[in-house]
Structure 1
Amino acid sequence: MLGARQQNRAADPLVSTDLLIPNDTASLVYIDCPLPGSTFYDSLKNDQAVWRFTFHHVEDDLPEGLVSGNERTYLRHFFDRLTVNPWAITPGGGDQDVYVLAYARPGALWAAFKTYREFEGDGRQNRELVQRQGKSGVPTLGLASEHSFNNARHREQLSEFHGDVEVESVSNSAHYVPDKNPE
Structure 2
Amino acid sequence: MTSYLADTKTALEAKFTHKYAFVNGIRLHYVIGGQGDAIVLLHGWPHTWYQWHKVMPALAEHYTVIAVDIRGFGDSSKPAVGYDSRTEAEDIYQLVHSLGFERVFLVGSDWGAPVNYAYAAAHPEDVRRFVNLDATLPGFGWEDLAGYSSETSRQGGGIWHFNFNAVPDLPEALIAGRERIFISYFFNRYSYNPSGISEAEIDEYVRWYSAPGAVRASLGLYRAIHESVEQNKQNAKTKLQIPVLVLGGSHGLADRPIKAMQAVAVDVRGTVIQGCGHFIPEEQPEFLIEQLLQFFGEDYKS
With normalisation by structure 1, the TM-score equals 0.89
Number of aligned residue pairs: give it.
Answer: 176
2:215 to 101, 106, 109: 109
Aligned to 2:227, the other structure's residue is in SS state helix
Aligned to 1:35, the other structure's residue is in SS state coil
1:165 to 257, 261, 268: 268
Root mean square deviation, CA, Å? 1.7
8 Å Cα contact 2:132/2:257 also seen in 1: no
- Paired with 2:175 and 2:264, the residues of 1 have a C-alpha distance of 34
Aligned residue number for residue 248 of structure 2: 144
- Paired with 2:285 and 2:181, the residues of 1 have a C-alpha distance of 25
8 Å Cα contact 1:137/1:163 also seen in 2: yes
- Paired with 1:97 and 1:78, the residues of 2 have a C-alpha distance of 14
Letter in 2 for 1:96: I
- Paired with 1:142 and 1:6, the residues of 2 have a C-alpha distance of 15
2:204 to 98, 105, 109: 98
Aligned to 1:138, the other structure's residue is in SS state coil
Q: Which runs of 5+ in 1 are unaligned?
A: none
Asked if 1:44 is matched to 2:145, the reply is yes
8 Å Cα contact 2:179/2:209 also seen in 1: yes
Deviation at 1:116, TM superposition (A): 1.3
Q: Which structure: greater strand fraction?
A: 2
Q: Which runs of 5+ in 2 are unaligned?
A: 1-36, 44-109, 287-302
* Superimposed CA distance per residue, residues 114-142 of structure 1 (whole angstroms, 9 cap, x where no aligned partner): 111122211110111222xx101111111
Aligned residue number for residue 135 of structure 1: 239
Aligned residue number for residue 57 of structure 1: 166
Asked if 1:82 is matched to 2:212, the reply is no
Aligned residue number for residue 9 of structure 1: 111
Q: Which structure: greater helix fraction?
A: 1
Aligned to 1:166, the other structure's residue is in SS state strand
* Superimposed CA distance per residue, residues 95-118 of structure 1 (whole angstroms, 9 cap, x where no aligned partner): 221111111122221221111112
Deviation at 1:86, TM superposition (A): 1.5
Task: Identify which of structures 1 and 2 has the higher relative contact order when contacts are C-alpha pairs closer than 8 Å and 6+ apart.
Answer: 1
Aligned to 1:36, the other structure's residue is in SS state coil
Q: Which has the larger radius of gyration?
A: 2
Deviation at 1:3, TM superposition (A): 4.3
- Paired with 2:117 and 2:229, the residues of 1 have a C-alpha distance of 10
Deviation at 1:80, TM superposition (A): 1.6
Letter in 2 for 1:173: C
8 Å Cα contact 1:145/1:175 also seen in 2: yes
Aligned to 2:257, the other structure's residue is in SS state helix
- Paired with 1:163 and 1:37, the residues of 2 have a C-alpha distance of 17
Asked if 1:31 is matched to 2:133, the reply is yes
Deviation at 1:53, TM superposition (A): 0.5
Letter in 2 for 1:169: V
1:121 to 203, 227, 231: 227
